Amino acid sequence: MERLRVSLFLLLLFCSPCLSEGKTFFTHLGTLCAEDCKPDGGEYKCKSTDEDGKSQSMYCSPQENVDFRGRQCQADSKCAKHGEDYSWCRINTFSWGYCGLVKEDQTLGDAGEDHHNTSPHRNRRDEVVLDTIDDLANRRRTTFLAEGAQNHIADGNNYRSEAAILIGNWDNSYLVSQTRSNLIKTKSIRIDMQGMVNRHNLRYHNLQIQVNVPRGGNMPSTTLSQVFVPENIYVPDRYVRRAFQESMVRRARIFIDVSSINIPRKLISGYMFCRKPK
């Protein structure tokens, strides 16, 4: 009986509605949302950082080609800037609305993300576990770890708005195995691949956000963020984007580790059965 109660509890946990949708939201001004796009008094808004580096609530779209009021854009007027400083689309012949881009992350089959453990604790003497995310359907656990590096990673407050745009443009098609500069760039900063490093008998991509200035001699660090992503192991795009953000805010190196978890197959089958069809 006790085993049955535990099984039912796990099944309900796996079928909870709190699964991540695998989307990244942008405001009507093109800045990266720091949270999901949510309803707010008949409009959709999210928290983001404006051009002055201040956190504000801005317009966004809950779905692709939908405006900030949830109205469908016309088929011949997709959400875009259309020559303006903000994104918008036409709703009908007589009205238009602000809108924000919605980027779908790459998915792995029917990956179901569930349990988060955001309580920081020490994994090794110099690393702190920031979060663990369990992909129950594929029996994977992704762990975000931070290693303090304030002497190596510069204060990036002056680049926050530009970094939000840079990071928002990241997807894993930019993951390469050879050292390469300017994977993505803006006016002042860029993302570089600084080579492969070995960690726990695996190879990791060493990704860095750098300021676009020459570095040499006793000049201060030009590194604003540093992220290590395992080679040939599935990691969602949004996890890499989150790692860049965590690194910049904490001035720490962020490692994304992926391991397997042991979940009884019958519970996985039950979990897949209860998921809503896409």
Please list the rounded mean pLDDT of every run of 10 residues in the chain (278 residues). Answer: 43 36 80 84 84 78 92 91 90 91 57 45 65 82 91 90 90 93 94 93 95 75 94 92 91 94 60 44
Question: What pLDDT was estimated at residue 118?
Answer: 47
Residues 98 and 121 in one domain: no
Residues 130 and 244 in one domain: yes
Domain count along the chain: 2
Structure tokens at 276: 């809503």
Residues 100 and 117 in one domain: no
Question: What pLDDT was estimated at residue 259?
Answer: 92
Q: Are 136 and 112 in contact (CB under 8 A)?
A: yes
Closest by Cα among 190, 156, 165 to 241:
165
Chain centroid, CA 163 distance in Å? 13
Which letter, b or e, does each residue of 154-164 get, where b requires 16 or more Cβ atoms within 10 Å of its Cβ? Answer: bebeebbbbbb
Residues 138 and 201 in one domain: yes
Question: What pLDDT was estimated at residue 139?
Answer: 85
**13 located within any domain:** no
Residues 219 and 138 in one domain: yes
Residues 72 and 169 in one domain: no
Residues 87 and 127 in one domain: no
Residues 93 and 118 in one domain: no
**276 located within any domain:** no
**270 located within any domain:** no
Question: What pLDDT was estimated at residue 183?
Answer: 95
Residues 148 and 205 in one domain: yes
Q: Which domain holds residue 171?
A: 113-260
**9 located within any domain:** no
Residues 140 and 202 in one domain: yes
CA count, 13 A, side-chain hemisphere, 216: 1
Residues 238 and 164 in one domain: yes
Tell me the whole-structure pTM to 2 decimals: 0.58
Q: Facing residues of 148 across strands? A: 252
Question: What pLDDT was estimated at residue 215?
Answer: 65
